[in-house]
C-alpha cells in the first residue's frame, strides 16, 4: 500500500505498536541498524554497505541476533 501524504506516519497511523528505537552499530567495519526486541536481544534490521558481497554474508542477514546482552 502506498500512501501519498505530507503528514508524518505517526499522524496517519495512530495505533502504531510500541517498538524500540533503531541504533547504529559498526560490526566488522560495516554499518548496521540494530533494534532491541521484546526479549532483550539485539537484532539486525538493516545493513548499510556499498559492497554487494556484504549482503551475501550470512552474518548480516536481516533479523539475525547480533547480541544477547540483557540489560
The pTM score is 0.66
Short-list 22, 28, 18, 29, CA closest to 44: 22
Whether the per-residue pLDDT at 8 is higher than 90: the answer is no
Burial (Cβ within 10 Å: 0-12, 13-18, ≥19) of residue 32: buried
pLDDT in tens, 9-29: 778 877 756 677 889 999 999
What pLDDT score was predicted for residue 68? 66
- Of the pLDDT bands very low, low, confident and very high (cuts 50, 70, 90), residue 33 is very high
What pLDDT score was predicted for residue 18? 67
Give the single-character DSSP code of 21: P
Q: What is the mean pLDDT of residues 40-55?
A: 92
Amino acid at each position: 500500500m502506498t500512501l501519498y501524504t505530507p503528514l508524518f506516519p505517526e499522524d496517519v497511523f495512530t495505533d502504531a505498536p510500541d517498538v524500540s528505537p533503531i541504533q547504529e552499530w559498526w560490526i566488522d567495519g560495516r554499518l548496521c541498524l540494530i533494534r532491541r526486541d521484546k526479549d532483550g536481544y539485539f537484532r539486525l534490521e538493516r545493513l548499510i554497505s556499498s559492497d554487494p558481497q556484504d549482503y551475501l554474508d550470512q552474518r548480516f542477514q536481516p533479523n539475525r541476533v547480533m547480541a544477547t546482552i540483557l540489560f
